[in-house]
Amino acid sequence: MKFELLKTDGAARVARLSTAHGPVDTPAFMPVGTQGSVKSLTPEDLRRTGAQILLANTYHLFLRPGHRLIGELGGLHRFMSWDGPILTDSGGFQVYSLAALGKVSEEGVRFRSHLDGSEHLLTPELSVEIQQALGADIIHPLDECLAHPVHRAETEASQALTLRWAARAKAVHSRGSGRQAMFGIVQGGGYQDVRRRAVEETCALEFDGYAIGGLAVGEPKPLMLDLLELSAALLPKDRPRYLMGVGTPPDLVEAVARGVDLFDCVLPTRNARNGQLFTAHGVLTIKQARYAADPTPPEEGCACYTCRTFSLAYLRHLFVGRELLAYRLLSLHNLHFYLALLADMRAAILRGTFDAFRTRFFERYAVSSLDVSSENLADTEA
């Protein structure tokens, strides 16, 4: 994997990440394909939204259909017919958020499947083995992700465990094909000094890039941004920085301003299925009666298939009638919006006008309840 920094504007930066399955222009947003499918969309649709890289969930694919099956069928790219880059998480976040039990020991985390209750032990070694069978371009070591708030002593102990797991994961990874990159995950909870040490110790292990985890897990938004700023500033400039599971359009703008390169989040697709559309002016709720006879598209001038082809009145009719097409058309628009937002930010950074872009964005965008909540929507879409 190659990471070529092209331009910085303040802390914001534009780069090109080169993987075995093609390039990614950063800052980039990764649509979430939890079970090996970005819900309701084909690979062809995803290309048309401008997506260059997808995220898939190790936890889900391990449980069903199983990493061995996917490996035997030629890996995840071939299985889901996506020939661009894929990033997988370690499975840890889902074990804590979806599975029962979630009993952490030095060895790993024991859990019961959310599908059938079967018991499994996810170790740092198994997590890498699964991700190797899937064949993702970028993989992650198993980590422990704490909710907020957690006491200092517990946070420090957890970060120390995450670091020991990272070393074990890296040892397995280093015996791999060399075609996969591995990102280290920076945890450290809500304490600036623990985060600082987490960054330093994780970087000492020398990963191909760094994920910032454990943010938007219940902490106030200002603290989240402070912790993010601190973590990003300490990370090496010549490696990609990935903010896990965040967030709303304003979150993305703020994170790019602090030097983040990669994002994933289920908001554009999950909220589409709940009838919410993202626009430059904020969030639009399609079922509202005001759209019943509205002949205009969700967003004037938007180049997505949905906006070029259908009216708010029709989309509302589909959504109210629970037509499957509604989920797809709204997902298409939302992903297009996210990917266009990232493209606009890249263009602004390249022109050296990112500050003006950011100001203009917040002048237009009506911040909603979504932007206040700090639920982490990390990489799980099931």
Residues making contact with its own copies (CB under 8 A): 35-37, 39-44, 64-65, 69, 72-74, 79-81, 292-293, 295, 305, 309-311, 313-314, 317-318, 320-321, 323-325, 327-329, 382
Q: How far is the CB of 61 from its own copies (least distance, A)?
A: 9
The CA distance from 365 to 335, in Å, is 17
Q: How far is the CB of 59 from its own copies (least distance, A)?
A: 13
* 170: nearest Cα among 215, 196, 193, 201: 201
Q: Which two tokens stand for residue 73?
A: 């069928």
Q: How far is the CB of 44 from its own copies (least distance, A)?
A: 8
Chain centroid, CA 94 distance in Å: 13
Q: How far is the CB of 247 from its own copies (least distance, A)?
A: 24
Q: How far is the CB of 292 from its own copies (least distance, A)?
A: 7
Contact, 49 vs 28, CB < 8 A? no
The CA distance from 207 to 166, in Å, is 10
Contacts of residue 364, Cβ cutoff 8 Å, sequence gap at least 6: 280, 281
Nearer to its own copies, 37 or 97 (CB): 37
Nearer to its own copies, 39 or 148 (CB): 39
Catalytic residue among 9, 89, 208, 371: 89
The alpha helices in 54-191, defined as continuous H runs, are 58-63, 67-72, 76-80, 92-97, 124-134, 152-174
Contact, 357 vs 71, CB < 8 A? no
Q: For 354, which DSSP code?
A: H
Catalytic residue among 9, 143, 261, 264: 264
Can you say whether residue 218 is alpha, beta or left, with left for phi > 0 and alpha for psi between -120 and 50 degrees? left
Q: How far is the CB of 192 from its own copies (least distance, A)?
A: 41
Q: Where are the beta strands (DSSP E) in the chain?
A: 2-9, 12-19, 22-26, 28-30, 54-56, 86-88, 100-104, 109-112, 119-122, 138-139, 181-186, 209-212, 241-243, 262-264, 276-279, 282-285
Nearer to its own copies, 131 or 162 (CB): 131
Nearer to its own copies, 140 or 328 (CB): 328
Residue 264 a catalytic site member: yes
Q: How far is the CB of 305 from its own copies (least distance, A)?
A: 7
The CA distance from 363 to 380, in Å, is 31
Nearer to its own copies, 24 or 329 (CB): 329
Nearer to its own copies, 251 or 379 (CB): 379
Nearer to its own copies, 111 or 291 (CB): 291
The CA distance from 81 to 83, in Å, is 6
The alpha helices in 37-120, defined as continuous H runs, are 43-49, 58-63, 67-72, 76-80, 92-97
What residues act catalytically?
89, 264
